[in-house]
Copies of this chain bind each other. A is one copy, B any other.
């Protein structure tokens, strides 16, 4: 078993980042590289005041260290060799851009009482790479702070609890050999070492079922499929790229899908559905897109209800849902995975992107941290989601976007950052 690292750099490679940062990054590099954006860090776990656990000095030290990193030759070789979705999917222009990339400057302010503001302004094509790196750093510093207060044995017991809980997941999945899943836990991981351990165990204990990792470094190390398509930020930033009219904002959603298809075609054509609510998504995706795209990713709301809607959506367009795939990735645990799988078995293909509960289940409460694109081209962004607790944006803009996207919910609130 790996040992716990209480000190030292958290990010050691720029490949220790979710693969979708590259798939999105290339589209951004090709079409929107100079769009100014701001990413903002938010701690949704209000009961934990992170600044009381993490000092400004150590947070700066880790962020500064990440800024010293560059892509190495072998790392670029790995990306250049990626052919799982499309031959030579990353262009040489883009790889040369990565070769010279340095993470842009960050803005960090500590406030009285234990809160801090952490923002990443910059060109979209450069600031985009901070997200999972910043999340990995804040998470691990937080858990290091808890571990440092423990005795050596208490730390052993945390790791042991993690192993025992991991064993129960392995044992359950061994009884369900038809279920496949990927590790999606970079952003909420307990620590780098623990995520790597979990991925290593899953890859070796469940070789036919654990098919990929969202973490590019882990995918490389474990010979797994690097998994990732696009995130909410793609739609959110796109809402600010065009004119500031309702029509332009409405059109930006489908433009996002069109840009994606243009870049990657069928290979990476999994659409994230909930940025402005799934009901809107199913109105916005055309029959041609529905027929062409490989499938959908579900990331908020009720997964069973979503799956039923998706099946009805495809059938409504005369498309056989059995030819389509849903990747479920919202707050999964082993019970949900098994339930969802059996619910849709034989009706639509399913796979699972298993995050927090896979890489941060050691008996300590996980944090709900996000880094979201909060400004695009000088305008605030909005996310509505299928779960109002995940909605972001200033209240007036949330109201506007709800109107624009025909979003109907019984109860809504906006979460300002």
* Interface of A toward B, CB cutoff 8 Å: 1, 151-154, 156-157, 159-164, 166-167, 170, 201, 204-205
Contact = CB atoms under 8 A, between A and B. Distances in A.
Contacts of A201: 153, 156
A154 to B, nearest CB: 8
B205 A159 contact: no
A163 B156 contact: yes
A274 B250 CA distance: 87
Contact of A157 (B151, B157, B164): B164
Contacts of A205: 151, 153
5 contacts: A153-B204, A154-B167, A159-B163, A160-B161, A161-B164
Given A151-B204, A160-B163, 8 more contacts: A1-B160, A152-B204, A153-B204, A153-B205, A154-B167, A157-B164, A161-B167, A164-B164
A167 B362 CA distance: 14
Closest 10 CB pairs of A and B: A160-B163, A160-B160, A157-B167, A153-B201, A1-B156, A160-B164, A164-B164, A156-B163, A153-B205, A157-B163
Max chain B Cβ within 10 angstroms of own Cβ: one of A156, A166, A201 = A156
Contacts of A152: 204
A164 B153 CA distance: 10
A156 B151 CA distance: 21
Count of identical protomers in the assembly:
2
A388 to B, nearest CB: 38
A159 B311 CA distance: 45
Contacts of A167: 153-154, 157, 160-161
A1 B159 contact: yes
A161 B163 CA distance: 8
Nearest to A171: B157
Nearest to A201: B153
Contacts of A163: 156-157, 159-160
A164 B164 CA distance: 8
A2 to B, nearest CB: 10
A170 B1 CA distance: 22
A167 B156 CA distance: 9
A159 B163 CA distance: 9
A152 B1 CA distance: 9
Contacts of A204: 151-153
A149 to B, nearest CB: 15
A204 B152 CA distance: 9
Contacts of A170: 153
A5 B292 CA distance: 55
Nearest to A168: B157
A12 B116 CA distance: 55
Contacts of A160: 1, 159-164, 167
A361 to B, nearest CB: 13
A203 B204 CA distance: 37
Contacts of A157: 163-164, 166-167
A145 to B, nearest CB: 21
A170 to B, nearest CB: 7
Nearest to A205: B153
Nearest to A156: B1
A312 to B, nearest CB: 41
Contacts of A162: 160
A147 to B, nearest CB: 14
A247 to B, nearest CB: 55
A154 B171 CA distance: 11
Nearest to A1: B156
Contacts of A166: 153, 157
